[in-house]
Amino acid sequence: MTRIALVGCCALISISASAQIVPLPRAKPPANCPARPAECQINVQVFDFGRGQMSSSAPPINGTNTISVTCTRAPQDKLNVTVQYQLQAIPPAPARQMRDSNLNFLRYDLFVDPARTRYWGDTSQGTFVFEGTLFLDDRNRVGTLAHLIFGRVDGAQQLVPPGQWLGLVVPRLEYTASCTG
């Protein structure tokens, strides 16, 4: 029996040119609240599916990784800030593909749950997002929330040559930061 080694990789790009971070408009802030009470960023690593065999009878190749959101409060004293966010994935649809150096395609999916039933996206086409809330004050000027991403490459109907595969998912962070009591 011939074994085919597949190295799958899905790059979640977080550099400023690729990631989209969008502070959303908010209600009129209190007098001591700066225009931007907090700044947030996305922290990601390359998603690696590892090695596996691709054939019509091969089991799926599953992988997990972490993506996190870190928010830093403005430097003013006695400032309490609440940050609420949505972390989305673009493209939003479950039809994600990796390519190899010969431009062959390999389908994969990313999910927000360990059962791999809720596709990570932007809430369109039945997809889901990660949501979180951070509370920042004088004791906790920086806050981070981590989210697990669950991936799967199905072997069925994907007869591809072994090699390196690369896909691209751009995370989009939409957040509101507001001063509280």
Helix/strand/coil (H, E, C) string of the chain? CCCCCEEEEEEECCCCCCCEEEECCCCCCCCCCCCCCEEEEEEECCEEEEEECCCCCCCCEEEEEEEEEEEEECCCCCCEEEEEEEEEEECCCCCEEEECCCCCEEEEEEECCCCCCCEECCCHHHCECEEEEEEECCCCCEEEEEEEEEEEECCCCCCCCCEEEEEEEEEEEEEEEEEEC
End-to-end, the C-alpha distance of the chain in Å comes to 67
Give pLDDT, residue 101. 87
Give pLDDT, residue 175. 96
Predicted confidence (pLDDT) per residue in 35-44, tens digit: 899 999 999 8
More confident residue, 164 or 142: 142
**Residue 86: pLDDT band by 50, 70, 90 thresholds?**
very high
Mean per-residue pLDDT, 65-70: 95
| Residue 14: pLDDT over 60 | no
**Residue 45: pLDDT band by 50, 70, 90 thresholds?**
confident
Q: Where are the domains of the chain?
A: 6-15+35-180
95 — phi, psi (to 5°)?
-85, 70
| Distance from C-alpha of 6 to C-alpha of 163, rounded to nearest angstrom | 6
Instruction: Classify domain 6-15+35-180 by CATH number.
Output: 2.60.40
Predicted confidence (pLDDT) per residue in 120-162, tens digit: 999 988 899 999 999 999 999 999 999 999 999 887 677 777 7
Q: Which amino acid is at 3?
A: R
| Residue 54: pLDDT over 80 | no
Lowest mean pLDDT among 55-59, 104-108, 122-126: 55-59
